[in-house]
A and B are shown apart, each in its own frame.
Chain A
Amino acid sequence: MTNMNYAQHEHHDFLNASAEALADPTLQKALVRLTDTLMAGNRKGYAALADSSDLRDHAKRIKEHTLAHLDEYLVQLEMSVHKLGGKVHWAATAEEARKIVVAIAQAAKCRHAVKSKSMTSEEIHLNPALEKAGVEVTETDFGEYIIQVAGERPSHLVAPAVHHTRESVARVLSQHLGETLSDDPKALAMVGRRVLREKFRRADLGITGANFAVAETGTIVLVTNEGNGRLTTTVPRVHVAIMGIEKVIPRFNDLPVFLKLLARAATGQTLSVYTTIITGPRQPGEVDGPEEFHLVLLDNGRSKVLATPFRESLQCIRCGACLNACPVYRRIGGHAYGGVYSGPIGSILTPLFDSVAENPHLPHVSSLCGACQAACPVKINIPHMLIGLRELQHAHKPSRLERWAYQLWSMVLCRPRLYHWAIWAARVILGRRAKAGWIDQMPGPGAEWTKIRDFPAPAAMPFRERWKELS
């Protein structure tokens, strides 16, 4: 397949997608700039908190506790929302969730939807379903708006259009709006403001995700930097919030722990510019807010993960810190991963939510360097989960030859004399290829290594022989 636009497709050829990303100088520049800026923010953000490590542990414990009692907290959340006059909908799959949102729009006769950024709505591919039902959908986060116009998928959890430059943004928007726009970032932002304000004015349906939902109070919390979350939840007469079931937190008092961490982990901000806290639809006597409030609770594979060793991945608060820290994401960007969620956490969530068998590369696309875990606000042990998925892959689709090779290798390693002999054999075989201690062309799987760099020749005398002269 040539000239495939990986920004627009899922389930593709990872090797081609990553090779194209590596060969795209504009993307490379954008990735380095973004990840450098955000990682510097992450480090500064944690450093500014005297107790950041303890706070992260605390946040992790809240998540652990919530996930262990998820059934109870979800029911409590449903009751709290219901008491406020809102409706809660349970969606087992992406398809169910799409049908629910379309039905809400149709029942309320909504024709114009505005959305604030929501990865969960991306996960269920909501926009095409609404458009098919005759509802115009406009993304109102500027980055999301750009990729919506371009017909692409987000390439980062919090910076969805990171793969674009100001030149390409000007090009995409000029074409869409039928006018010639300058590539000055400020001017482009003003164009976005002009277009989106008009969309807000006409909107009768507001769709959001939820960064957090408080079981105790039925409160939905949105964090944005553009204020579009606030407009989306106050202007239209109907508000639908879609959240993965793992986003619930028990108490309102738990919220500050996460708010203190989320923006710091994501960008280094103390708080995001807007924190929108919504508790139910418009109440009698209130001047704004929607007439109807719906909360869609999405499972889509999450409850299945809950009962596995991968439960920890459900602690993710979608800050994107692991993407910014990851030396692999930094080089191949988000689209190469092929799913809605990219980077290290995406390499876990995509196989788990989608299919382990159909995403064979993702668990392996990591040097297990651990930078992700170090940056994670809830210290998710991402390397461990990637290794766990590799183990799971062997059960799903065993490679007999590979298993046999690892078994043989461990058998040799348990017999020191045989191992000693194997080193000797390797030296004899590889020694002929060596020049001044290095080999520039390896046989077998090692050939992949020597495409890029030389391989060390086995030493003339291994340490176990040198030990004799030392003792």
Chain B
Amino acid sequence: MITCLGDTFFPDVGVATVKLLRRLGVTVDFPQAQTCCGQPHFNSGYHDEARTLAKHTMEAFAKSPLIVTPSGSCAAMVKLEYPELFHDDPPWHAHAVAFAKRTHELSDFLINVLKIDDVGAHFDGKVTYHMACHLRGLGLVNEPIRLIQKVRGLQYVPLERHDECCGFGGSFAVRYPQISGAMVTDKTAFIEKAAVDAVVATDAGCLMNIGGCLNRNGSKVRILHLAELLAQQ
């Protein structure tokens, strides 16, 4: 599952995910009917529209035995919210529960399903890691760090307040640009302080926000999705 932001803004992340999974012996398919998981609608309180998109997404992946997504936020939407969205609709609720079980965020899939923490990646440089908020919700607190630390040639530098939100929050960033801006300004200051070549995250939203701020400040730090890091050899 690549979903909307990855598809539109960060297709390289999708390509890296496919290459990585294939390298690990996984057969990958991309159902073309997929678009967006419905999280923006859900978070803004438009639950009817979110249900429509949830149904669309579940139908798009009806034939997929396992769904892997390089996005903590889409995974959290599917795993934590889909079942509840259909709490009073038994047939769809059953679908949603089964679908939630079949869906995995990338680091969850690698560590907890494939049971691999060394994917044979190589990266020359210093790297820090920003934890996306939805990984807290999914309980994936250590998985990405375990994967990063196994990358050859890489020097891992822990990020100060690594689990604090970067200030993206979807419509939040547009509604309250000053508050969101204060958050991302602090985040990028910590990243600069870590003096790294790249900052790694697992979500397109964080990458847009942190990357946009780093770029505005003329920073030399690259943004990398975990999949892009792990795909490198």
Contact = CB atoms under 8 A, between A and B. Distances in A.
Interface stretch (A166-174, A232-240, A361-369): A361-369
Interface in B32-68: 32-36, 38, 40-47, 49-50, 52-53, 56
Interface residues of B, number: 66
Contacts of B30: 463-464, 467, 470-471
B212 A456 contact: yes
A93 interface: no
For the complex, would chain A's binding face be called helix, strand, loop or mixed by DSSP majority?
Answer: helix
B183 A367 contact: yes
Interface residues of A, number: 58
B82 interface: no
Contacts, number: 186
Contact of B41 (A410, A438, A461): A410
Interface in A421-471: 423, 426, 438, 440, 445-446, 448-449, 451-459, 461-464, 466-467, 470-471
A413 B171 contact: no
A391 B181 contact: no
Chain B contact surface mostly: helix
Contacts of A463: 2, 6-7, 11, 14-15, 30
A327 B8 contact: no
B2 A22 contact: no
A369 B133 contact: yes
Interface in A357-410: 364-371, 374, 387-394, 403, 406-407, 409-410
Contacts of A390: 43-45
B139 to A, nearest CB: 10
A438 B137 CA distance: 30
Interface string B172-192: 111111111111110000000
Contacts of A224: none
Interface string B98-136: 000000000000000000000000000000000001101
B15 A452 contact: no
Nearest to B4: A413
Q: Which of A453, A466, A471 neighbours the largest number of chain B CB atoms within 10 Å of its CB?
A: A453
B174 A445 contact: yes
Contacts of A18: 176, 178-179
Interface of B: 2, 4, 6-12, 14-15, 18, 30, 32-36, 38, 40-47, 49-50, 52-53, 56, 133-134, 136-137, 163-165, 167-185, 207-209, 211-213, 215-216
Which 9 pairs from chain A and chain B are nearest by CB?
Answer: A367-B169, A390-B45, A452-B181, A369-B165, A391-B45, A453-B212, A369-B133, A463-B14, A410-B49
Interface of A: 18-19, 22, 327-328, 331-332, 364-371, 374, 387-394, 403, 406-407, 409-410, 413-414, 416, 419, 423, 426, 438, 440, 445-446, 448-449, 451-459, 461-464, 466-467, 470-471
